[in-house]
């Protein structure tokens, strides 16, 4: 996630090609994926502009930090599921068989 955050928009072609490969290059899937990328850029600029108007030029830095923290918080439930999936299932041990020794 940090890598995608650092390179930003340059990762979009790689993400689009991965979506195309998985979705068998269906036009609607490609259009929706590209539209959501653009929507994210538009919303980010809009919120950043509001922040600059109200709080000055440092507002986008704080906004970016808050959004990154929210993104990490959104990953926490998935991390818990991964940990549970990595643990081997606890199976009860079979009861020991009692052997009767003859005298």
How far is the C-alpha of 52 from the C-alpha of 100, rounded, in Å? 84
- The tens digit of pLDDT for each residue in 6-15 reads 566 666 777 7
Structure tokens of 67?
């959004």
Does the pTM of the predicted model rise above 0.85? no
Q: What is the pLDDT of residues 13-55, one digit of tens each?
A: 777 777 777 777 677 777 787 788 788 888 888 888 999 999 9
pLDDT confidence bin for 85, thresholds 50/70/90: low
Is 60 exceeded by the pLDDT of residue 99? no
Q: How confident is the model at residue 101 (pLDDT cuts 50, 70, 90)?
A: low
pLDDT band at 98 (very low <50, low <70, confident <90, very high): low
Interatomic CA distance for residues 72 and 78, integer angstroms:
10
Smallest CA-to-CA distance from 31 within 20, 41, 42 is with 20
Q: Please report the sign of the dihedral spanned by the C-alpha atoms of residue 87, residue 88, residue 92, residue 93.
A: negative
């Amino acid at each position: 996630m940090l890598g995608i955050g650092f390179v930003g928009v340059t990762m979009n072609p790689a993400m689009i090609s991965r979506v195309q490969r998985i979705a068998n290059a269906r036009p609607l899937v490609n259009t929706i994926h590209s539209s959501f990328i653009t929507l994210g850029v538009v919303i980010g600029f809009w919120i950043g502009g509001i922040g600059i108007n109200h709080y000055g030029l440092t507002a986008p830095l704080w906004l970016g930090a808050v959004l990154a923290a929210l993104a990490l918080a959104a990953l926490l439930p998935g991390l818990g599921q991964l940990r549970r999936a990595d643990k081997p299932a606890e199976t009860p041990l079979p009861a020991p068989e009692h052997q009767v020794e003859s005298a």
